[in-house]
Amino acid sequence: MANSKQARKRARQAEGRRVMKASQRSMVRTYVKRVIKAIQSGDHAEAMGAFKAAQPVIDRIADKDVMSKRKAARMKSRLNKRVKALAA
């Protein structure tokens, strides 16, 4: 347990950050699921639209260090590959 005033404040800040980041990670997962659902339905236009909506969200989360930039890039790349495969 945090004993000093400074340690108690750091604990409060860490908890606030944890809650915020959990919410943001959940939002990214929701956008990714929308893209995957559109891909599974086989509709290229819908999948492309969902991907274009998910892309800035993923980038924003990576900029805030909720997710690493490399993981975000990998996620976007894999989604884009699957969306492009629908067109072929």
Question: Between 56 and 87, whose confidence is greater?
Answer: 56
| Confidence bin at 87 (pLDDT 50/70/90) | confident
- Could you tell me the maximum CA-CA distance found in the chain, to the nearest angstrom? 62
Domain range summary for the chain, segments of one domain joined by +: 5-87
Residue 28 has pLDDT above 90, yes or no: yes
Its pTM stands at 0.86
Position with higher pLDDT, 74 vs 1: 74
pLDDT band at 37 (very low <50, low <70, confident <90, very high): very high
Length of the chain: 88
CA atoms within 13 A on the CB side of 24: 18
Mean residue pLDDT of the chain comes to 95
CATH superfamily placement of domain 5-87 = Ribosomal protein S20 (1.20.58.110)
